[in-house]
A and B are shown apart, each in its own frame.
Chain A
Amino acid sequence: MIVDVAFGGSLALSGTEALSVTQTEFETFYRETARPLWGYLARICGNRALADDLLQETYLRFCRARVPASRSEWRAYVYRIGTNLAADWWRHSGRRAMEALEADLATPDERGGESDLIRRRELDRAFGALKPRERALLWLAYAEGMDHREIGRALGLSRGSVKVLLFRSRRRLAVVLDRMGIGPEVLS
């Protein structure tokens, strides 16, 4: 059974499939992935400062872990570490803390016009109304452009589960958008 809060399970890799990363490899990989990963963590946690902490802890663990031998799997692996850390935080702090923190992410940047600010606030609220896992699924699929297999690896879910859960998440966001009266014109 898939529960709402749980994201992934063990990160253990078998000895033949795993290797230790070198400093050069790590630095290159970090420069490619740190910013998008931060955006993802900030979205699923709803808090910038927490995303900073989780990002640092994620890469510290990545450096010390035995990573998949295939470099193409590193992205999903590092997202998995980050997701698990976020899920741990979620389990310990609970929904109330999460709701309080979402306000932090919803505070927009002052750049852009007033209508732009209102629009962004509405979108933030709509996205924030989803469950963390729904946000994670939608973010990985649409913002990061991951396929079902990679999302499954990042969240510790099977490909079939990703398909079903992603459909439900899309449907739920559509309902939230309808309820909040956010139509296609808001996005234009």
Chain B
Amino acid sequence: MKTLEPGKESRIHGVVRSLRDSPAPAPELPDPAVLWRKARLLEALEARRGASRPVQAAHWISLALATGVLAALAGSKGVSLLGWLEGSASGLVLPLTLSLLLLGGGLVLAAGAAAGRNLARRGER
């Protein structure tokens, strides 16, 4: 192993030890029990965030879906929505569109209910 001259070596050792032992004001360290509780709280918070992620994703998907369907229908030929649906050549358009709207509405309601339940639980705590 490479070493410096013995004098320099001991001087460096002395400098670092001297800095370590200098009577600097002692830090006020946090209580370990408080840190432990804080860590557990953070962990629970992260877990809750992870659990609510699918609900949030469903919320955004349903919103995007509903917006897309409405935009598609609103932009079609300037006729009334029901008129366009009824006059459509294919008999499948109406049931499909209504299903999409119902699905979107259902997802929005489910996400809203889940979010409400989460908020209520948090409020109880």
Interface residue SS majority, chain A? helix
Contact string against A for B residues 12-32, beta-carbon threshold 8 Å, 1 for contact and 0 otherwise:
111111111011111111101
Given A173-B12, A177-B11, A123 and B18 touching (CB < 8 A)? yes
- Residues of chain B within 8 A (CB-CB) of A141 are 16
Check A23/B16 contact, CB under 8 A, given A64-B43, A109-B24, A187-B11: no
Closest to A49 in B: B27
CB distance from A14 to the nearest CB of B (A): 21
Whole-angstrom distance from the CB of B5 to the nearest CB of chain A?
A: 9
Are A142 and B2 in contact, CB atoms less than 8 angstroms apart?
Answer: no
Any A CB within 8 A of the CB of B75: no
In this assembly, does B9 line the interface, its C-beta being within 8 Å of a C-beta of chain A?
Answer: yes
- Enumerate chain A residues within 8 angstroms of B27, measured Cβ to Cβ: 35, 38, 42, 48, 51-52, 55
Q: Return the CB mask of B30-56 against A: 1 if under 8 Å, else 0.
A: 101101101110110000000000000
Q: Is the interface of B mostly helix, strand, loop or mixed?
A: helix
Chain A window 99-122, contacts with chain B (Cβ cutoff 8 Å), 1 for yes, 0 for no? 000000000110110000000100
Task: Please tell me if B4 contacts chain A, counting CB pairs below 8 Å.
Answer: yes
Question: Is B7 an interface residue, CB under 8 A from the partner?
Answer: yes
Could you tell me if A184 and B14 are in contact, using CB atoms closer than 8 angstroms? yes
B-side contacts of A173, CB under 8 Å: 12, 15
On whether A142 and B38 interact (CB within 8 A), knowing A35-B27, A35-B29, the answer reads no
Instruction: Bin the interface of chain A by size.
Output: 35 or more
| Residue in B10, B28, B35 whose beta carbon sits within 8 Å of that of A60 in the complex | B35
- Is A79 part of the binding interface, using a Cβ–Cβ cutoff of 8 Å? no
Chain B neighbourhood of A56, CB < 8 A: 30, 35
| Contact between chains at A123 and B15 (CB < 8 Å) | yes
Question: For this complex, into which size category does the number of interface residues on chain B fall?
Answer: 35 or more
Residues of A within 8 A of B8 (CB): 170, 174
Q: Which of A3-11, A25-33, A82-90 interfaces with chain B? A: A25-33
- In the bound assembly, the distance between CA atoms of A63 and B44 in angstroms comes to 13
Query: In the assembly, what is the distance between CA of A129 and CA of B4, in Å?
Result: 19
- By the criterion CB–CB under 8 Å, are A184 and B11 in contact? yes
Residue among B2, B28, B38 with the highest chain A CB neighbour number at 10 A: B2
**Given A63-B39, A163-B2, A170-B4, A143 and B17 contact (CB-CB distance below 8 Å):** yes
Residues of chain A within 8 A (CB-CB) of B18 are 120, 123, 187
Residue pair A23, B36 in contact (C-beta under 8 Å): yes
What residues of chain A lie closer than 8 Å to B2, measured between beta carbons?
A: 163-164, 167
Cross-interface CB contact of B35 among A63, A120, A164, cutoff 8 Å = A63
CB distance from A160 to the nearest CB of B (A): 11
Across the A-B interface, give the 6 residue pairs with the lowest CB-CB distance, nearest first: A63-B39, A142-B16, A143-B20, A187-B14, A30-B32, A27-B32
Other CB < 8 Å A-B pairs besides A26-B36, A167-B3, 6 of them?
A: A30-B32, A34-B29, A35-B29, A184-B7, A184-B10, A187-B18
